[in-house]
Each structure stands twice: as structure tokens, then as C-alpha cells.
Structure 1
Amino acid sequence: MTNKQQPVNAVQLDANMWIQQSGDNDLIWHSPLEQPFQLAGFGWLSEESRYRRLPAKPSWILPEAVDLLANCTAGGQIRFATDAASLSVKVKLTGAANMYHMPATGQCGFDCYIGGLGEQVYYNTTVYDHRKTEFESVIFTNFERENRIITLNFPLYQGVEEVWVGLDLEAQIDHPPVYDSTKKIIVYGTSITQGGCASRPGMAYTNILSRRINLEFLNLGFSGNGKGEPELAHILAEIPDPACLILDYEANCVSTELLQKTLPDFISIYREKHPLTPILVISRITHAKEKFDPQMAQVRAERKQVQIRTVEQRRELDDANIYFCDGAALLGKDAHECTVDGSHPTDLGFLRMADGLTPILQRILAG
């Protein structure tokens, strides 16, 4: 006779994991689409008032998968200042969490940072039933009434139809600190760029960089579908006031030949409208299996050389504002400890990517 063990439900056993509700009577709910809230990370928000990363009706036809992934809100941020004692959010998602290797908190949740540039400190992540598409979650309660700068990071791998910010009845709201300029850093790439598989939104490397560089970041990573199509180059070229364009899409190229064709074309198309904007080309981070698969390592080395040659050829044509970064160096010597599945970074991996890219990007922006 065998004793059948009961399933373990840690949420029931650990009070720290219980889902806390705020109660509508305690709060006033605000739309972040209204002043003095500031929304960042959505390049076409002023025209469309949608939490979407590409235009709904673009002038160039989008690949179907890219069009769908543009509804994921990676890189979106709500910024404001407040003396609120209590803060909650209400969210209506376009779908439920459905990924096996990425936490629902990163795929569908919001997280909160408190403080200004260089002083932002993580405080909390939304807690909710991950099977649901609508939830309310408490960020903080019973704070001392003093002015704080708040940043709420949007979900990385799901769409958001509606979000409301709940503040206590006596809370005052003000504009957040301004950016250094109206220029934007545009990051085009793959699932890694989009934030797979960060445990929470603030740990995507573009969001980490945004806490160190006082400019708006546009995350245009499209999971499995950042392939360097010319249509995307044309659409990205429509974004006004670019501070820098980062191209990090090697990992989605199905062949070296495709990268060899798309990368020079993508850059040439973008240069037609932005001849002087800095462009940073990043080769892919290492894959854990390369240690055991010499052919995989060789392919990555070949593609790295394609990107180096492309940058060098542009420089020979007097394009002085184009740069290359070796992505293989970003994760460090123990890169195999920095991913979920050999490819997609954990929070540690994203932090190392941001640590490596921060000084490079700062030097580029400084001219």
C-alpha cells in the first residue's frame, strides 16, 4: 500500500503570497492617458491613444506576426510624481499568461520603481491570479505622505487594453521629471530585446538602461520575428527625434545569408531619413549549447563577422556614426548561468547585458 502525497499549494500555505485587494472605496482611479501622467515607450500613442508599439495602420505592410506582437507592451512605462499614501493598479489584458519558461509576473504583470534617474529603486510587482485577464493589485499602502517619483513598467509579453492607477483620496499628482531631451532610443530586435524571459518587466535590458540614461526608450523587439525586413526599417525611420538606433536582431535570422542581405539594406533605408543618427549593431549573446556544439559556435562567429564588415563598410563610406558591439562579451565568462533555456536571459543575464551596454551607449550619446 502506497501513501499518495497531497499536492502542495504554496500560495495557501504562505501568507506572503496571498493576493491583496484594495477596495474601490479607498481610492480614486486615474487614466494614465490624462495629464499629468506621462506614458513612455509607445511611439504612436499621441496619434492613436493605444498601448501599442507600432502604428495600427502603418504606411508599410507589417508581417502578420510582427503586427500581433506589436500589441505586447514591452518597454511601456507610466511615469508620474505623487505624495500618495496608497497605490494600486487595475489592468485589463488581451490574454492570460501562457508561457512555460517565463513567469506570469514578467509576461503579464506591472512592476513599480520609486525615485528619479540614477536613484530608482524597485518596490513591488503586481500580484494576481495568472489565469485571469483582468486584475487589481496593490502596489503599496500606508506610506508616509511625501512626494515620490513613480515608474510603472508595462507587461513584456501580453497586450494591455486598459490600465488604471488607483491613488488614495488625498493624493496629489504632478508631472514626472523631464527627459534630457525629446530624442528617443530605438531598440529593434528579437525575443531577447522584447524581454524574454525576465521575471518582471523592469528587468528587461531596455528598461534597465532607461533607469540609467534619461531618455525615452522604444522597445521594438518582436519575439521570433525580428528579421530585419525593409518594411520595419521604413517604419522605424518615421519615428521622429531618434537619439540612437540599436539593431539587435541576429538571433532571428534563419541563415547567415539572410543577415548578410538584410542588415546593409536596413541601415541604408534608415540612413535615407536619418543620415547622422548613431546606429549601434549588436551581435547575439552566446548560446549555452555552443560549448558542446562547435558548429553552432562557428555560425555565430560567421554572423558576427558579417556585422563587423557591414559596420566597417559603412565607415569607409564616411558614415562615422555607426558602431559595433560584440554581444558574446555581454554575459561574461559564466554566460551559461545567465539564461532560462540557453538562449533567453534570466534577470541576471539582462542585468549583465545592461551593464555592458551602458558605458557604450553613454559614449555614443556623448558624441
Structure 2
Amino acid sequence: MAGGKKAFVFEDHSQERRCYVKEEGEIGMELKWHTPHDQPFHVAGFAWFEQDRIYRRLPQNPSHALPEAVDYLANNTAGGQIRFQTDSSKLSIKVKLDGKADMNHMPATGQCGYDCYIGMPGEQTFYSTAKYDHSKEEYEVDLFERYDGGLRNITLYFPLYRGVKEILIGLDQGAALVSPPPYDSNKRIVIYGTSITQGGCASRSGMAYPNILSRKINWEFINLGFSGSGKGEAEVARVIGEIPDPALFVLDYEANCVSPELFATTLPEFIRIYRSMHPEVPILVLSQIRFGQELLERAQLDMRLTRRKIQIDTVREFREQGDNHLFFYDGESLLGSDFAECTVDGVHPTDLGFWRMADHLEPVLRTYL
């Protein structure tokens, strides 16, 4: 049972691993352990996965030197997914993280855990999350067991704020293993931004707003939110521009822009760099959500309105110069009128806040797809 004590030992068998698992007071059973690197599993959300074969959001050897913080945070696996179909009655995972849970305002289930959703695209239903001893860097948990119902489509969401060195997926011996249903398009939706984009502070990984959107819109999403470090640097723009087959690029980095003066410089330059690499891809400039402090601190409100005007003016200037594929959307209304109640700390959304963001953004993104 989930959370019960287990004894396990790995045996290597070419492209599979087996683990003999014994529950306390239960006769041992045999699971077959798979690496998602192999077909028919599909790993999504990591644009350079086929090249580097690691769970990382930017290339291991980028063409341009990345800021140190961005390079480090690229190892956080926000937005990653493992997709497959199986009729196994049990699904377990064994995970090696790159560190322990260490956040004081975000649960370990969101920072370090995997979420399991079951259902076809557009119909995925949350089933379970990885609950484990968060003082450890490795864990093995059951995501479901004794599940009946035949072949089912599985989506596993990677941790939002920690790196994953290895994940193995344990299924019944002899269980069917089939490729997932295809996306509606071979193109990708790329979102660049801040800690909010990355998923802070969702209670579990499936509740980051890009992940919620991925269940509403059956396309591959690339989450490039870098906590505290989405500052719009030119070298980051050049590396992101190398992601092939973008259908839409969302710029959501206002909250990390450092200052209005710097924002007025980085935003148009970022757009120019990306546009030079993708002349006709729609670019959506998304202003930030409202922060709770602005209700009591006028300076906070004035700062946000100043930055919003910079974005509106920048988009208007590019459009006047002929760029008809550049758009602006005001994020002020994304959380609703009671926005202060939708955050953990006045800044980072709760699950309710992320759900409201995705619910508002779905029709907006569909417009440009």
C-alpha cells in the first residue's frame, strides 16, 4: 500500500529493470520497471530531450552563455510530462531528485512530487500525487494499485521546483504498454516567465497554470519560467528562439523585470531577437497578475501600471511598424476581483489562482493558435 514499508532490489535487464517488491505482511510480487527514455513512453515539455537525453528545460551546452541562475533553474523540471497508455493494475515510480524539499511556502508534493492523471486528452482526471518522506532525495511510491478498467491513458507531471536525475516506472509483468494519443499539432506553445510561470506555489505539479492549460489544449507546452530570474536577457532570448516548431510564444516575465527602465529596454530587444528567428510566430505579451500588496501599498499599484503601459506601448510600436503577429493581453483580471485571496503570500497563486489563470487564458491562446 502507498506509504507502507517496502524492500526492493534492482536487477538490470537491457532496456528494462525489475524490482521485487515486498509489502510488510504481504507475499512478494514482481513489477517490471521501465525507463521513460524508451518507446512507447513519450517525454514532453523538454525541448532538448531528444538531443541531451536528460530532464532539463534548456540545452546542456547552450549556443550562448546563460545567466548562472537561469542555467541552474533549467534543471528544475517544471512542465515535463511522461505520457503512455497501459492496462496495468498498479503503477509505481522510483525517483532520484537532485536535492531535498526545502521551500517554506510550497508543499513538497508540488516542489518534488509527480502527479498522475488518467484519461484521454481533454478528459484527464487527477488520480494521485507522490506523497513521500520529504527529508529524502529518493523515493518510491505507488500512484495507483488494484486499478481495474482496461487500457487507460496516463499523464505524469514532473516536479516543479527540483531536478530529476532518474525516474523509473513500475508496471505489472505482462501489462500492455502503448503509445499515448497524438497531440492535435506537432507544434509547441512556449511560455517564458517567472516563478509564477514555473509553478510557484502550486500544491502539486499538475496545478501550475501551463500544466492546467496542457489538459485544456492538446498541444505540447514548454514551461520556461525561471523563479526570480525571468529578466529578459538577450542571450536567453537567443537560446529560446532555437526551440523548433513553435506555434505560439508567450512573454510573461514582467514580475522579474528588475525595473521599469530596464524593462523598457529588454522587452523590445527580446521581441526583436525572437522575431528575427521566427518571423510569423504569434507572440503574446502577458502582463502580470495583481499582487495582494497593491491593495494597501499605492506604490505597488503604480509600479504595475507603469510596467503595463510599457508593454502596451511596446506592442503598439511594433504593430505600427508592421508586426501583425504581436499581441498584448492584460493579466490584471486573471485572478478575479478577490485576487488577494488567490495567493499563498500575496504574490504566488494557490491552486485556485492557477486554475483561474488557465481558465481565462485558454480562449486567449486558442485565438492565436
| Length-normalised TM-score, structure 2 | 0.93
Matches of 1:20 and 1:53, distance apart in 2: 34
1:64 aligns with 2:91: no
Q: Relative to total residues, which structure has the larger strand share, 1 or 2?
A: 2
Question: Residues 184 and 218 of structure 1 are in contact (CA less than 8 Å); yes or no, is this contact kept in structure 2?
Answer: yes
Letter matched to residue 85 of structure 2: A
Q: Partners of 2:327 and 2:105 in 1: how far apart? A: 33
- Measured against aligned partners, the alpha-carbon deviations of 1:157-199 in whole angstroms (never above 9, x if no partner) come to 0000000000011211000001112101110000000000000
2:237 to 230, 233, 240: 233
Aligned-pair CA distance for 1:258 = 1.0
Q: 1:250 aligns with which of 246, 249, 254?
A: 254
1:21–1:138 contact (8 Å) kept in structure 2: no
C-alpha displacement at 1:17, in angstroms? 8.6
Alpha-carbon RMSD across the aligned residues, in angstroms, is 1.3
Q: Deviations over 1:17-70 (max 9, x none)?
A: 945659632310000000000000001001100000001110101000100000
Q: Does 1:222 align with 2:222?
A: no
Give the secondary-structure state (helix, strand or coil) at the position aligned to 2:216.
coil
- 2:16 corresponds in structure 1 to none
Match 1:119 to one of 117, 123, 128: 123
CA distance in 1, matches of 2:168, 2:132: 15
CA distance in structure 1 between the partners assigned to 2:278 and 2:2 by the alignment: 49
Aligned mates of 1:17, 1:139 — CA distance in 2? 8
2-side partners of 1:248 and 1:86: how far apart? 39
Report the equivalent of 2:48. 44
Name stretches of at least 5 consecutive residues in structure 2 with no aligned partner: 9-18, 21-29
Q: Determine the C-alpha separation between the residues in 1 that align with 2:6 and 2:318.
A: 56
Tell me whether 1:286 sits opposite 2:312 in the alignment: no
Return the letter of the residue paired with 1:59: S
Following superposition, which runs of at least 4 residues in structure 1 exceed 4 angstroms of deviation?
16-23
Alignment deviations for residues 322-357 of structure 1 (CA, whole Å, 9 cap, x no partner): 111111110000000000000000100100000110
Q: Hey, what's the Cα distance between the residues in 1 that align with 2:238 and 2:157? A: 28
Residue among 329, 347, 356 paired with 1:352: 356
**Stretches of structure 1 lacking an aligned partner (at least 5 in a row):** 1-15
Deviations 1:96-127 (CA, angstroms, capped at 9, x unpaired): 00000000000000010001111000000011
Given the alignment, which residue of 304, 311, 321 partners 1:307? 311
CA distance in 2 between counterparts of 1:204 and 1:293 reads 28
Aligned to 2:104: 100
Q: Do the aligned partners of 1:282 and 1:325 also contact (CA within 8 Å) in 2?
A: yes
User: Comparing 218-227 with 311-320, which one deviates more in the overlay?
Assistant: 311-320
Structure 1 position 337 matched with structure 2 position 338:
no
Q: Name the CA distance, whole Å, in 2 between partners of 1:82 and 1:131.
A: 32
How many residues align? The count is 350
> In the alignment, which of 305, 310, 324 is matched to residue 328 of structure 2?
324
Residues 1:131 and 2:155 are matched in the alignment: no
In the alignment, structure 1 residue 210 sits paired with structure 2 residue 202:
no
CA contact (8 A) 1:22 1:138 kept: no
AA in 2 matched with 1:193:
T
1:261 is aligned to 265
1:88 maps onto 2:92 in alignment: yes
Asked if the contact 1:53/1:70 (under 8 Å) is kept, the reply is: yes
The answer to whether the aligner puts 1:29 opposite 2:33 as a matched pair is: yes
Identity %: 58
Kindly indicate whether residue 194 of structure 2 is the aligned counterpart of residue 190 of structure 1: yes
